[in-house]
């Protein structure tokens, strides 16, 4: 009961601050804070890598005698993950308990920190599901091969070399039986073969999405590798950059949605009739979209010539996008699903397109079918203000200022940054300053009148 | 050296291959000591051959009290052995082998099998588990809410369920293991001040407390055994299975009267009328309560509803039940509810009284017994006495308590409201309407899924979502049929969308239309141009009630929810996982709802049928499984299919409330195969339904060209049941009858509909204590099979043509011809055909060939001589 009373006091003290706030522990992020680490007391300077739901690791230098603890929120000093005793010494190989408090003004009595007694490189692993932490020394740095081979009983012991997509990632669709998968760096097992292992032994091949799972390295030919519980098609990805892996069981998608600045409803996924793909009746792995794309269909649309593909009606859903930003959408292209960078494809002409996406191979085929009936005024203006001088519109762009020098009719002028935000707009003008004191960067200038519709890209 | 100890106990099985509670409805969280093995700071409890509890406390303190998730550990002790050597302890059941490194924490970081592992056989492979092992193949359970559901965007929110294609699943019941809302599983202890179990801190909050469930593909047993340790899924009162009218709007009392009049005048059977949040002062001009109240409120808005008691009486007089919506998070305010505030404050002696932006407020301290007692005795009792039947809890604020670290507001509201009702209204079954609060919430039914968007893709997600919730025993989700919030004005009142949502609702646990307070949204179904079709759906729901209620009882007994995935029955068949928008509705009906807009007035859907034969109610045909068929449906068609051999009891059209106990029932019999079924009946709201109920068994027996239906004498009794019953037996999949006997006597009281292939027989009023029988003799034995799709292959040597008749349309067909050496000589593929002919001129003559035809999932092989 004493403990309850203490908790009541603690929470009542900070009650007004709690209104509307989450008091819950979160399993999506964790940060180390303290003078023992380089990021110091900046509460989100030292993020840890999530290797499973609620499980995090971090490798770095910890200074002896200096305190550290963990923060669970990225919105301030609110959710504390702390030691259970004051100034708790943690040594290599030990597992220590953790406590969680959601409190904007955590009393010192509860705000317990850890410390180490020897400065050095450590691997910290925190399991929030079991509220414990352990400390280890990092393993020697490993090298990773240029070629990977998979085998195992799930593949009838065939050996398959993984496809490599430039220097981005290895990616391979595997038809698996129930069994296991072994990853190695030689096509034939031998004395010098190295085997690459998941973070969690024998974990299912479908594991890894959303986690930073770095491959382990061993020469033990008896390694279990990954297991496959359910026969079917799997896609295995290995990042060339981080040597992390992701596996997933392929399930044909029933829906995809094209979204972008070149769509009729820019950056929208609501209007199924113009954004939804339809399944290919001949192949469940293929979905097809057919329709019009226009550069800057709507004047105010950010990224007017770009698009990507959503897998659900949710901006946080998995995106289909190119490996290289602004890859022209032409011909057959690989699709990237494993990276958070929000790259898009581009079109360079308006018209009718057919886009076929193979969700199993993660490829996209783009066909340009025919020019559409777009009026010439809707065509994307040539890049650069200097080109605008050839138009009836005269724009000036210097000293961080954009000025409309001349327009034959009243126009609405908008300046849009590359994030898509309208940062300045003037209505019904034939001349005058549109924006001043702009920071350096790339902007779009949309000019729209009764008979004029122009879009210019400017660089300040 | 291995020292081996053998411990063998006798098994007492009540359920096939299962274990049973000691005494119906009794729970004891302390396990039989013979099932417990302690090794240092680790403790293991063998609960079933497939379920082990693993505890580890570095203080050596273990938990024997109930928790939020687990309330019973006293099961019959399964057979198991223990042994140990210098390093390891071994525990072995019929299904599992556990290996524990003595003296260690079973958990390693990162997780590994170094200190503890369990191995088991699954699909012919040895499967390894260790604490913390991730499982991406979990079949998922449910999530707190569908608020914001748009398309399938909530899929990622589904929590892990109790079954997995990996063969194992884990219940993480450690206090440290937060549920997705951040809450924890506290202990539960009896508390005299409230009269039911109250939360308590865990003895060692850092201890590991994990339940390993290694049930392989035996999903149904896993879920049944879960209810042994976590409590049964209660049977809600019967009225919840009727139609609910609900819509958020600032309805006045006269508006409600008009709605009730319209429901009646349009002959829309209804059982529940919901009063959404504007029953109380909400602070808005539009509800005539500006300056008083807000999101939370407890006092009637008498500007809208001047005589609440009178209105509730009128609702009851029309044989409707009602619930009020509650958003309790802001506590009790002195301006919104001055009398309630004063009375509570007096009872609590000002303990929780705090100043707020508007007057004074007693914050929501439901985690404290004095607040809880004062709240229920002051506010809830009064409203109950006014006529409120149950509460719609609508928790939307901070998910865990600001006062008790890790206390889940959703779970705790569920627990307190449900148990308060059980204690204080003992003449009724407890009932709440609230969200999922994590494992254990299945004990507090029913579910309110929340604010989903209005569009077809969101509807399309709900069949999967609802059936998947069965994987955690949460079997009574009630959705906002029609959708809640506008995403696209063009479809907000699309008659087709609303109809399809309503048709899906017929085959969902709770049949309730609802939407938000948006004048653009219409939920008065009588105002839609296709209202007759919508009413047809309502009528079907009322017809199905005896079957639905019987299946709800089955849920209570088995832990298998009414809507459940196909893979429960067909775990080894990939299609059972792939066709995730199909599901079982009870034991005998498969539903594949239409969840897309029609094209040119026709909805096309590809449906997988499992092994067995299935009677299509929409198209009146018997479909032979396993197969995949692409079928076409009109706007009024609902793709649902009866299992051959099933006997489904239905209400007659005269039933307007599901609480009625009619003297006449319809029995839908799908003839051609032996089968058994039953009808469950009770008072409808008696809390002692575990023992006070009646059951009538049905069976059908096929013998040559005779089908005999037997209605057994009713067993048991319950208030309000008729002493005698008459039946209309509708035997589908029959040929024209030669003769019909009722109770052994020839009768002419029958008819035959050749289009539906249905023989209808009237069974006169018969005492339920004596049973009845119907014998139908058909014109020709075995003619039933004519409708069953069969593949037939003919080779006409004169024209050198191979002809195949596939019996029904097949989506995918492959023909392959092999010579006797096994070499493939010819291959053809076809789509969407019911037969084909092929010239075989390219095959050398005077040879034998093997012809293999693969149609969807069927393989047909025939030899031909050329």
**Which domains can be identified in chain B, with CATH numbers?**
3-134+169-213 (no CATH), 242-560 (3.20.20.80), 565-637 (2.60.40.1180), 661-785 (2.60.40.1180), 790-865 (2.60.40.3080)
- Mean pLDDT throughout B524-534? 98
* CA B276 – CA B517 distance, rounded (Å): 10
pLDDT of residue A11: 32
pLDDT of residue B397: 84
> What residues does each domain of chain A span?
2-136, 149-249, 257-370, 381-459
Q: CA B121 → CA B72, B95, B240, B398, distances in Å? A: 27, 7, 42, 43
> What is the predicted ipTM?
0.83
Q: Between chains, do A179 and B125 touch, taking CB under 8 Å as contact?
A: yes
Q: What architecture is the A381-459 domain classified under in CATH?
A: Sandwich (2.60)
Q: What is the pLDDT of residue A73?
A: 86
- In 3D space, the residue among B501, B571, B811, B581 whose CA is nearest the CA of residue A255 turns out to be B581
Write out chain B residues lying below 8 Å of A7, CB-based.
Answer: 403-405
- Whether CATH 2.60.40.3620 fits A2-136: yes
Residue B661 — very low, low, confident or very high, per pLDDT cuts 50/70/90?
very high
For the ranges A48-52, A106-110, B852-856, the lowest mean pLDDT is seen at B852-856
* Segment A397-401 mean pLDDT: 75
Chain A segment 181-240 residues within 8 A of B by beta carbon are: 199-204, 206-209, 224, 227, 229-232
DSSP result, B241-280: GSEEE---S---HHHHHHHHHHHHHTT---SEEEE-GGGB
Q: A55–B206: do the CB atoms touch at under 8 Å? A: no
> pLDDT over 70 for what percent of chain A?
86
pLDDT digits (tens, 9 = 90+) for B680-712: 999 999 999 999 999 999 999 999 999 999 999
Give how far the C-alpha of residue B432 lies from the chain's centroid of Cα atoms, to the nearest Å: 16
B178/A22 touch (CB, cutoff 8 Å), yes or no? no
Q: Which backbone phi and psi does B463 adopt, to 5 degrees?
A: -60, -45
pLDDT at res. A392:
73
pLDDT recorded at residue A3: 36
Share of chain A residues as helix, strand and coil, in percent rounded to the nearest 5: 5, 40, 50
Place of tokens 């007659």: B652
| Bridge partners, B778 (sequence order) | B737
pLDDT at A184: 98
Segment among A402-411, B511-520, B579-588, B727-736 with least mean pLDDT:
A402-411
Question: Structure pTM?
Answer: 0.83
Kindly indicate the confidence band of residue A455, based on its pLDDT and cuts at 50, 70 and 90.
Answer: low
User: Which has the closest alpha carbon to A279: B502, B490, B811?
Assistant: B811
Q: What percent of chain B has pLDDT over 70?
A: 95
- Which of B58, B112, B136, B483 to mutate to probe the A interface, most A CBs <10 Å? B136
Choose the weakest-confidence range: A176-190, B352-366, B403-417, B555-569. Answer: B352-366
**Token reading at B637:** 């068609």
| Per-residue tokens: B428 | 């009724």
Q: B794: left (phi > 0), else alpha (psi -120 to 50), else beta?
A: beta
**Each residue's pLDDT tens digit, B540-551:** 999 999 999 999
pLDDT score, position A408: 82
Number of CB pairs, chain A paired with chain B, less than 8 A apart: 169
Alpha helix (H) residue ranges in B786-855? none
Query: Mean pLDDT across chain B, nearest whole number?
Result: 92
Q: Which chain B residue's Cα is nearest to A102? A: B405
Does domain A257-370 bear CATH number 2.60.40.3620? Answer: yes
A300-357 tens-digit pLDDT: 889 999 999 999 888 888 899 999 999 999 999 999 998 767 899 999 999 999 999 9
Chain A residues close to B130, C-beta within 8 Å: 201
Residue spans of beta strands (DSSP E) within A177-305? 179-184, 195-197, 216-218, 226-228, 232-239, 245-249, 257-260, 278-280, 283-293
**CATH fold match for the domains A257-370 and A381-459:** yes
- Beta-carbon separation of B107 and A130 below 8 A: yes
What are B321-336's pLDDT values in tens digits? Answer: 999 999 999 999 999 9
- Mean pLDDT over all residues of chain A? 86
Which stretch of A73-87, B14-28, B446-460 has the lowest confidence by average pLDDT? B14-28
C-alpha dihedral over B24, B30, B34, B35, to 10 degrees?
80
Residues from chain A that touch B401, judged by Cβ atoms under 8 A, are 23
List of chain B residues whose C-beta atoms are within 8 Å of the C-beta of residue A203: 133-134, 136
The token pair that represents A383 in the structure block: 């890049």
For residues B37-46, average pLDDT: 98
pLDDT at B108 over 90: yes
The string of pLDDT tens digits covering residues B270-315 is 999 999 999 999 999 999 998 899 999 999 999 999 999 999 999 9
Strand-pair category, A401-406 with A432-435 = antiparallel
pLDDT the model gives residue B332: 96
How many Å apart are CA A244 and CA B785, to the nearest integer? Answer: 57
Give the list of residues 6+ apart from residue A188 with CB closer than 8 angstroms, or none: A159
Determine phi and psi for B78, rounding to 5 degrees.
-75, 165
Q: Is the pLDDT of residue B174 over 50?
A: yes
Neighbours of A305 (CB within 10 A): 25
Higher pLDDT, B609 or B789: B609
Confidence of residue A448 (pLDDT cuts 50, 70, 90): confident
Among the partner residues A3, A84, A129, nearest to B172 by beta-carbon distance = A129
H helices, E strands: number in chain B:
11, 50
CA B641 to chain CA centroid, Å, is 18
Q: What is the CA radius of gyration of chain B?
A: 30
- Binary contact (B109, A24; C-beta < 8 A): no
Query: Of residues B636 and B844, which shows the higher confidence score?
Result: B636
B716 min Cα distance to partner chain A (Å): 46
pLDDT of residue A387: 37
Mean pLDDT of the region B476-492: 94
pLDDT higher than threshold 70 for residue A154: yes
DSSP tag of B490? G
Are the C-beta atoms of B407 and A7 separated by less than 8 Å?
A: no
Residue B65 C-alpha, separation from nearest chain A C-alpha, in angstroms? 18
Name the DSSP letter for residue B57: -
Nearest C-alpha in A relative to B136: A207
- The predicted pLDDT at position A91 comes to 96
Minimum mean pLDDT range among A78-82, A115-119, B598-602: B598-602
Distance from CA of A252 to the nearest CA of B (A): 9
A270 chain-B contacts, CB cut-off 8 A: 455, 487-488
């Amino acid at each position: 009961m004493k403990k309850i009373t203490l908790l009541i006091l603690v929470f009542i003290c900070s009650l007004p601050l709690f209104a509307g706030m989450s008091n819950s522990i979160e399993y999506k992020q964790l940060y180390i804070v303290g003078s023992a680490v380089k990021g110091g007391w900046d509460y989100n300077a030292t993020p840890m890598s999530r290797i499973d739901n609620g499980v995090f690791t971090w490798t770095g230098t910890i200074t002896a005698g200096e305190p550290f603890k963990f923060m669970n929120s990225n919105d301030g000093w609110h959710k504390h993950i702390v030691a259970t005793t004051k100034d708790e010494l943690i040594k290599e190989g030990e597992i220590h308990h953790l406590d969680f408090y959601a409190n904007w003004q955590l009393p010192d009595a509860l705000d317990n920190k850890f410390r180490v007694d020897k400065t050095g490189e450590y691997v910290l692993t925190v399991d929030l599901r079991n509220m414990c932490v352990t400390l280890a020394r990092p393993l020697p740095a490993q090298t990773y091969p240029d070629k990977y081979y998979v085998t195992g009983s799930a593949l009838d012991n065939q050996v398959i070399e993984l496809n490599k997509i430039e220097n981005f990632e290895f990616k391979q669709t595997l038809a698996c039986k129930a069994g296991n998968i072994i990853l190695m760096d030689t096509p034939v097992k031998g004395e010098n073969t190295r085997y690459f292992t998941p973070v969690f032994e024998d974990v299912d091949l479908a594991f890894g999405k959303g986690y930073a799972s770095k491959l382990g390295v061993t020469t033990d030919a008896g390694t279990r590798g990954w297991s496959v519980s359910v026969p079917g098609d799997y896609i295995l990805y290995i990042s060339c950059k981080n040597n992390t892996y992701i596996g997933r069981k392929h399930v044909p998608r029933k829906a995809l949605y094209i979204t972008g600045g070149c769509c009729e409803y820019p950056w929208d996924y609501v209007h199924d009739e113009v954004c939804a793909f339809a399944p290919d009746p001949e192949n469940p792995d293929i979905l097809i979209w057919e329709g019009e794309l226009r550069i800057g269909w709507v004047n105010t649309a950010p990224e007017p010539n770009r698009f990507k593909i959503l897998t659900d009606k949710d901006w946080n859903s998995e995106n289909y996008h190119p490996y290289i930003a602004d890859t022209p959408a032409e011909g057959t292209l690989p699709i990237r699903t494993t990276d958070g960078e929000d790259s898009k494809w581009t079109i360079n002409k308006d018209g009718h397109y057919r886009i076929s996406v193979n969700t199993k191979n993660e490829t996209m085929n783009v066909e340009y079918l025919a020019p559409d009936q777009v009026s010439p005024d809707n065509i994307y203006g040539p890049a650069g203000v200097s080109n605008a001088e050839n138009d009836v519109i005269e724009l000036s762009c210097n000293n961080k200022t954009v000025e409309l020098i001349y327009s034959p009719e009243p126009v609405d002028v908008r300046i849009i940054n590359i994030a898509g935000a309208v940062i300045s707009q003037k209505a019904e003008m034939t001349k005058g300053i549109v924006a001043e004191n702009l920071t350096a960067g790339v902007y779009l200038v949309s000019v729209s009148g009764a008979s004029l519709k122009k879009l210019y890209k400017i660089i300040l | 050296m291995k020292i081996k100890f053998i411990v063998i106990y006798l098994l007492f099985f009540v359920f096939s291959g299962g274990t049973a509670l000691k005494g119906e409805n009794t729970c004891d969280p302390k396990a039989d000591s013979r099932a417990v093995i302690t090794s240092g700071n680790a403790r293991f409890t063998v609960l079933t051959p497939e379920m082990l509890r693993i505890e580890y406390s570095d203080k050596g303190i273990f938990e024997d009290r109930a928790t939020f998730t687990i309330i019973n550990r006293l099961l019959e002790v399964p057979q198991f052995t223990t042994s140990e050597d210098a390093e390891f302890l071994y525990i072995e059941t019929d299904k599992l082998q556990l290996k524990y490194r003595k003296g260690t924490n079973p958990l390693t970081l990162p997780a590994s099998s170094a200190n503890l592992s369990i191995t088991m056989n699954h699909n012919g492979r040895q499967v390894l588990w260790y604490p913390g092992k991730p499982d991406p193949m979990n079949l998922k359970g449910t999530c707190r809410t569908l608020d914001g559901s748009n398309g399938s965007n909530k899929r990622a929110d589904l929590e892990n369920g109790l079954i997995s294609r990996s063969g194992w699943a884990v219940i993480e019941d450690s206090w440290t293991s937060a549920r997705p809302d951040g809450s924890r599983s506290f202990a539960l202890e009896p508390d005299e001040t409230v009269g039911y179990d109250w939360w308590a801190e865990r003895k060692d909050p850092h201890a590991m407390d994990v339940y390993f469930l290694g049930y392989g593909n035996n999903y149904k047993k896993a879920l049944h055994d879960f209810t042994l340790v976590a409590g049964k899924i209660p049977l809600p009162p019967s009225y919840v299975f009727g139609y609910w009218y609900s819509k958020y709007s600032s309805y006045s009392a006269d508006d409600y009267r008009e709605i009730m009049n319209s429901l009646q005048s349009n002959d829309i059977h209804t059982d529940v009328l919901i009063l959404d949040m504007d029953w109380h002062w909400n602070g808005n001009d539009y509800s005539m309560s500006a300056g008083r109240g807000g999101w939370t409120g407890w006092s009637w808005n008498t500007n809208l509803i001047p005589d609440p008691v009178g209105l509730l009486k009128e609702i009851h007089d029309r044989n409707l039940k009602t619930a009020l919506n509650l958003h309790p998070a802001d506590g009790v305010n002195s301006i919104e509810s001055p009398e309630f505030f004063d009375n509570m404050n007096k009872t609590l002696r000002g303990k929780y009284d705090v100043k707020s932006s508007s007057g004074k407020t007693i914050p929501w301290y439901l985690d404290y017994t004095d607040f809880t007692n004062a709240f229920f005795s002051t506010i809830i009792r009064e409203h109950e006495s006014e006529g409120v039947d149950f509460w719609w809890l609508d928790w939307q604020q901070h998910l865990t308590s600001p006062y008790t670290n890790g206390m889940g507001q959703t779970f705790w509201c569920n627990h307190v409201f449900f148990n308060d009702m059980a204690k204080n209204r003992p003449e009724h079954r407890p009932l709440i309407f609230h969200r999922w609060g994590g494992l254990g919430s299945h004990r507090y039914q029913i579910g309110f899924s929340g604010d989903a968007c209005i569009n077809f893709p969101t509807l399309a997600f709900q069949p999967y979502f609802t059936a998947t919730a069965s994987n955690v025993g949460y079997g009574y989700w009630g959705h906002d049929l029609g959708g809640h919030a506008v995403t696209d004005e063009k479809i907000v009142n699309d008659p087709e969308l609303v109809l399809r949502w309503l048709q899906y609702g017929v085959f969902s646990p709770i049949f309730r239309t609802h939407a938000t307070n948006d004048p653009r949204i219409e939920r008065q179904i009588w105002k839609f141009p296709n209202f007759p079709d919508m009413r047809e759906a309502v009528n079907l729901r009322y017809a199905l009630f005896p079957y639905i209620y019987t299946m709800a009882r089955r849920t209570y007994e088995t832990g298998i929810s009414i809507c459940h995935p196909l893979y429960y029955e067909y775990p080894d068949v990939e299609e059972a996982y792939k066709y995730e928008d199909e599901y079982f509705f009870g034991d005998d009906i498969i539903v594949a709802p239409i969840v897309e807009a029609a094209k040119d007035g026709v909805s096309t859907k590809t449906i997988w049928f499992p092994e067995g034969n299935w009677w299509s109610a929409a198209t009146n045909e018997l479909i032979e499984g396993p197969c995949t068929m692409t079928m076409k449906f009109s706007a009024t068609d609902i793709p649902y299919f009866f299992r051959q051999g099933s006997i489904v009891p239905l209400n007659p059209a005269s039933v307007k409330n599901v609480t009625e106990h009619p003297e006449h029932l319809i029995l839908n019999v799908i003839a051609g195969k032996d089968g058994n079924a039953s009808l469950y009946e009770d008072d409808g709201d008696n809390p002692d339904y575990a023992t006070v109920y009646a059951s009538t068994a049905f069976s059908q027996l096929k013998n040559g060209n005779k089908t005999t239906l037997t209605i057994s004498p009713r067993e048991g009794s319950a208030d309000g049941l008729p002493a005698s019953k008459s039946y209309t037996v509708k035997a589908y999949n029959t040929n024209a009858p030669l003769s019909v006997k009722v109770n052994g006597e020839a009768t002419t009281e029958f008819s035959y509909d050749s289009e539906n292939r249905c023989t209808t027989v009237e069974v006169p009023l018969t005492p339920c204590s004596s049973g009845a029988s119907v014998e139908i003799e058909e014109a020709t034995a075995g003619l039933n099979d004519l409708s069953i799709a069969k593949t037939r292959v003919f080779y006409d040597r004169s024209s050198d043509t191979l002809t195949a008749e596939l019996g029904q349309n097949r989506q995918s067909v492959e023909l392959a011809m092999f010579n006797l050496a096994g070499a493939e000589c010819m291959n053809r593929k076809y789509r969407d055909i019911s037969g084909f002919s092929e010239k075989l001129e390219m095959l050398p003559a005077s040879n034998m060939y093997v012809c293999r035809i693969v149609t969807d999932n069927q393989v047909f092989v025939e030899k031909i001589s050329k």
